[in-house]
Amino acid sequence: MAFIADALSRVKPSATIAVTQKARDLKAQGREVISLSVGEPDFDTPTHICDAAVEAIRRGETRYPPVLGIPQLREAVAKKFKRENGLDYKASDVIVATGGKHILFNAFLATINPGDEVIVPAPYWVSYPEMVAICGGSTVFVDTTMEHGFKLQAADLERAITPRTKWLVLNSPSNPSGAAYTHDELKQVAEVLLRHPQVHILTDDIYEHLVYGDFKFATIAQVEPGLFERTLTMNGVSKAYAMTGWRIGFAAGPAALIKAMDMLQGQQTSGACSIAQWAALAALEGPQDHLAVFRKAFQERRDLVVSMLGQAKYLQCPSPEGAFYVFPSCKEAIGRKTPEGKVIESDVDFVTALLEAEGVAVVQGSAFGTGPNFRVSYAASNATLEDACTKIQRFCASLV
């Protein structure tokens, strides 16, 4: 009898973590490596948030918190959804968990039966299909294209839906492409979903505040109130508030789903870290001045990277609406050779050769379900990005 559960045989390790580890290993060997593989802001958590955590410790807020989250934070989340998204959730509709990933996993675990299908547009964040697989479901991938801005098209969604479809996952702005849906684009998707009442929507809005230029963020339950009761709206403090290590995500949705997730979490982790919850409360209710600073810096970095990669031989690099990633195509590099004579047969070969030749770590697009592309995180200083992009240009120019 096998010791390890069969479910794990369906799961692949995270490609983003693997690339990051390879970069660390090369650094440990003395190589100079620029890692653009991590989806993490390079800014410090704002001071007032850190101060709130210290104050919480001094007040003795170090006991087990309620499984669903401390009441003050759940109330603040409900207010945030009303203030920023026009969504009327009550605090009782809200759950707080140990990061956004925990929210997603619990939602799938609470709802997916063997044979249930989850529609995931590609490219996608690497963990979505693995979570579905662990829960015994099947992921139905729907390809998007660079020509359509890596956004799900209504007709493609319609073709993918079956009687077994339980969820559609919508991530906007997207990891890895940075694509974000406009109000009108979400409306077209919503019109399809209204015709299929068995389909629920899990909207991952974690990059909500990181949109650039005149782009206006919208979320699907806001765009189409008819989908409100079928939508789990997920968000958190990790990206916009530079709080990745604090591990706080939250969501609001149908009462029956929140109750089921509460029961699961009560047997898993119980409540998220009490101190981090008080810090998250300060994030949502305190000064928001840093958001404009973050956005300005990330937009400058996006423009720098798009411009420099757009000048690289054999690359096409569209300019995304949000998040802190670009997702260039390296299709024209496929079939070419490195100076050492190695043939670039895939985006995996491309990113591997780039790391070996120039010490720049990026993630292959095929890990996100779309290739030949690669993901570059521009959550790094302008000087670091300029250096990395110069090296990518040099590597591309060396291919014959």
Confidence of residue 26 (pLDDT cuts 50, 70, 90): confident
- Please write down the HEC assignment for all residues of 312-352: CCCCECCCCCECCEECCECHHHCCCECCCCCECCCHHHHHH
Tell me what pLDDT residue 20 has: 75
Backbone angles phi, psi at 306, to 5 degrees: -60, -45
Report d(CA 320, CA 312) in Å as an integer. Answer: 18
Local structure of 276: helix, strand or coil = helix
Confidence of residue 198 (pLDDT cuts 50, 70, 90): very high
In this structure, are residues 324 and 210 in contact, taking their beta carbons and an 8 Å threshold? yes
Among 130, 133, 185, 193, which Cα is nearest to 157's? 193
- Calculate the alpha carbon distances from 183 to 57, 175, 226 in Å: 42, 19, 15
Q: Is the pLDDT of residue 14 over 80?
A: no
Tell me what pLDDT residue 28 has: 87
Among 219, 223, 146, which Cα is nearest to 179's? 146
Q: What is the mean pLDDT of the chain?
A: 96
Tell me what pLDDT residue 2 has: 87
Q: Is the pLDDT of residue 17 over 90?
A: no
Q: Which two tokens stand for residue 197?
A: 């009442």
Confidence of residue 11 (pLDDT cuts 50, 70, 90): confident
Question: Domain 6-44+290-398 class?
Answer: alpha beta
Report d(CA 367, CA 218) in Å as an integer. Answer: 27
Confidence of residue 30 (pLDDT cuts 50, 70, 90): confident
Tell me what pLDDT residue 378 has: 98
If you average pLDDT over residues 326-337, what whole number do you get? 98
Buried b (16+ CB within 10 A) or exposed e, 10-29: eeeebbbeebbebbeebeee
Confidence of residue 38 (pLDDT cuts 50, 70, 90): confident
For residue 80, how many other CB atoms are within 10 A of its CB? Answer: 19
Confidence of residue 328 (pLDDT cuts 50, 70, 90): very high
Q: Is the pLDDT of residue 335 over 80?
A: yes
CATH architecture label of 47-285: 3-Layer(aba) Sandwich (3.40)
If you average pLDDT over residues 166-186, what whole number do you get? 98
Residue with the bigger pLDDT between 92 and 23: it is 92
Strand partners, 326: 376
Give the residue carrying structure tokens 């699907």: 220
Least confident of 1-5, 9-13, 225-229, 330-334: 9-13
Q: What is the secondary structure of 238-268 as a DSSP string?
A: TTTTT-GGG--EEEE--HHHHHHHHHHHHHH
Q: Is the pLDDT of residue 16 over 80?
A: no
**CB proximity list for 309: less than 8 A, separation 6 or greater:** 315, 317, 326, 328, 376, 389, 392, 393
Q: Is the pLDDT of residue 22 over 90?
A: no
Report d(CA 41, CA 12) in Å as an integer. Answer: 25
Residue with the bigger pLDDT between 15 and 280: it is 280
Per-residue pLDDT tens over the stretch 382-400: 999 999 999 999 999 999 9
Pinpoint the residues of the chain covered by CATH 3.90.1150.10. Answer: 6-44+290-398
- pTM to 2 decimals? 0.96
Backbone angles phi, psi at 303, to 5 degrees: -65, -40
Q: Is the pLDDT of residue 257 over 80?
A: yes
Pinpoint the residues of the chain covered by CATH 3.40.640.10. Answer: 47-285
Residue with the bigger pLDDT between 75 and 29: it is 75
Q: Is the pLDDT of residue 50 over 90?
A: yes
Q: Is the pLDDT of residue 19 over 80?
A: no
- Cα dihedral sign for 227, 193, 133, 361? negative
